[in-house]
């Protein structure tokens, strides 16, 4: 049975504590190239420790590369 993207997202969400998620996802919410709503959403997810959700929504390339490696 193939592993789903939602399973991978959940797996990532369980990997790190909140401080580590903030550190790993700063590129998703820092900088002037993001809208203010995207920054707020990414920071809200980071404060909940949702690393997988942040990557899925704000860094799709990284999420898909990781997913393809993980499902093998």
pLDDT at 65: 97
Instruction: Tell me which residue range forms the domain holding 57.
Output: 5-70
**Residue range 52-57: average pLDDT?**
95
Q: What is the DSSP letter of 2?
A: P
Directed axis angle between helix 51-58 and helix 60-70, to 10°? Answer: 120
Q: What are phi and psi of 7, to 5 degrees?
A: -65, -40
Q: For 3-31, what is each residue's pLDDT tens digit?
A: 999 999 999 999 999 999 999 999 887 87
- The fraction of the chain above a pLDDT of 70, given in percent, is 99
Domain total for the chain? Answer: 1
**Residue range 44-69: average pLDDT?**
95
pLDDT at 29: 77
Instruction: Give this prediction's pTM.
Output: 0.88
């Amino acid at each position: 049975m193939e592993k789903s993207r939602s399973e991978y997202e959940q797996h990532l969400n369980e990997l790190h504590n909140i401080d580590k998620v903030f550190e790993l996802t700063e590129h998703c919410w820092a900088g002037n190239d993001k809208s203010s709503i995207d920054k707020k959403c990414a920071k809200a997810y980071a404060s909940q420790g949702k690393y997988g959700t942040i990557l899925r929504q704000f860094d799709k390339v990284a999420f898909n590369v990781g997913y393809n490696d993980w499902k093998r």
